[in-house]
Amino acid sequence: MSDHTKTDLVTLSRHVLADQQAHPAASGDLTLLLVSIQLGCKFVATCVRKAGIVNLTGLAGETNVQGEDQKKLDVLANEIFVNSLRSSGKVAIMVSEEDEDMIVVSDTDRDGDHASYAVVFDPLDGSSNIEAGVSIGTIFGIYKLLPGSKGTTADVLRPGREMVAAGYCMYGSSTTMVLSTGGGKVHGYTLDTTIGEFILTHPDLRMAPRGKLIYSINEGNSVYWDDACVEYFGALKSRTVDGKPAPYGARYVGSMVADVHRTILYGGIFAYPADKKSKSGKLRVLYECFPMAFIVENAGGRATTGTKRILDLEPTKLHERSGIFLGSADDVAELEAVYAKHA
């Protein structure tokens, strides 16, 4: 018998379509929306791959100085996603890290009542890493508009638990998309550049309650940390087993997508806490904290501010920030216990 595994590829579109068809009421609109996000990610992946050579050699028609090229990639990625999402016809409003105001899709670009989604995204997160060729990514979350709404800020200023899907795409040594439409399922897909398709490579990603013993935080900020943080991370470093040192290992890329991706695959805890300098934290609730918390929870992990579940936050501003800790359930529970003690 021939081996079908190499020719019968499960692409992201095929997988999402099969998943949605399992729901008799599904219209296929979310599938089409996800196809437009995929296209955006493929386009950005190509631009990211070219960025290094453009910056270093001025090839590919770019003559700007390095700094400007850098900036342009953020702007370019934003334009790519806005255009791709708009052309899907399924999106009524968008919130992007790159735009102060909410983007309202015009009536002519809407597929009537089918434009029933709001998409929040960070088109190119971790962009300070571009020049060094370090992994960067796109983060997105999707809400269904509230009943009867044509798209207002009320459709996105909602708890993250109400998202219908969230994902990220990591532009690393390979291009990897991780996506969840809820229901405790998270899948990973890798871009096969030869055929231009995301292929299901990590079906049903699960995080064990305790994975590898890794902590991931910008420790340079420790001078600003609150007492709970100082105690918790101090304990990870001075951990002993049978009287012998058994400290956690430290890993910090400085790109949320890469740090969270590793945390999902290997385990441990990622943190960007609120501290004395960044009183509300650094990362944005809508398009950084919520999508990542949605994915992590659906994979069996947890995400908290220290005292509150991230997905229960109710943002009042589009670009609101929050402190965040996420990762393996047992690690996050221990962190919360320290915060409870200091309350």
Identity at 165, one-letter amino acid code: A
Q: How many residues can be counted in the chain? A: 343
| Interface with ligand AHM, residue 96, by CB under 6 A | no
| Interface with ligand AHM, residue 149, by CB under 6 A | no
CB of 163 to Mg ion, least distance (A): 17
CB of 289 to ligand AHM, least distance (A): 11
Options 255, 263, 304, 305; binder of ligand AHM; rule CB under 6 A = 255
| Interface with ligand AHM, residue 254, by CB under 6 A | yes
From CA 202, how far away is CA 190, in angstroms rounded? Answer: 8
Q: Residues binding ligand AHM: what is the number (CB under 6 A)?
A: 11
Q: Where are the beta strands (DSSP E) in the chain?
A: 91-96, 103-104, 117-125, 136-144, 165-171, 175-180, 187-192, 197-202, 214-216, 240-241, 244-245, 249-250, 269-272, 302-304, 324-327
| Interface with ligand AHM, residue 138, by CB under 6 A | no
Pick what 127 binds: ligand AHM, Mg ion, none; C-beta below 5 to 8 Å, kind-dependent: ligand AHM
DSSP 284: B
| Interface with ligand AHM, residue 322, by CB under 6 A | no
| Interface with ligand AHM, residue 294, by CB under 6 A | no
From CA 310, how far away is CA 323, in angstroms rounded? Answer: 9
DSSP 50-68: HHHHHHHH--TT--S-HHH
Q: How many CB atoms lie within 10 A of CB 119?
A: 27
β-strands 197-202, 187-192 pairing: antiparallel
Pick what 255 binds: ligand AHM, Mg ion, none; C-beta below 5 to 8 Å, kind-dependent: ligand AHM
Q: Could you tell me which stretch among 44-52, 63-71, 76-84, 251-259 binds ligand AHM (CB under 6 A)?
A: 251-259
Please count the CA atoms within 13 angstroms of the CA of 2 that sit on its side-chain side. 4
CB closer to ligand AHM, 85 vs 256: 256
CB of 126 to ligand AHM, least distance (A): 4
From CA 114, how far away is CA 151, in angstroms rounded? Answer: 12
| Interface with ligand AHM, residue 285, by CB under 6 A | no
Could you say which residues in the range 215-234 bind ligand AHM, by CB under 6 A? 218
Pick what 89 binds: ligand AHM, Mg ion, none; C-beta below 5 to 8 Å, kind-dependent: none
Burial class (CB in 10 A: 0-12, 13-18, 19+), 141: buried
From CA 342, how far away is CA 31, in angstroms rounded? Answer: 45
Pick what 261 binds: ligand AHM, Mg ion, none; C-beta below 5 to 8 Å, kind-dependent: none
CB of 296 to ligand AHM, least distance (A): 14
Options 117, 121, 232, 272; binder of ligand AHM; rule CB under 6 A = 272
Q: Could you tell me which stretch among 85-93, 237-245, 254-262, 304-312 binds ligand AHM (CB under 6 A)?
A: 254-262
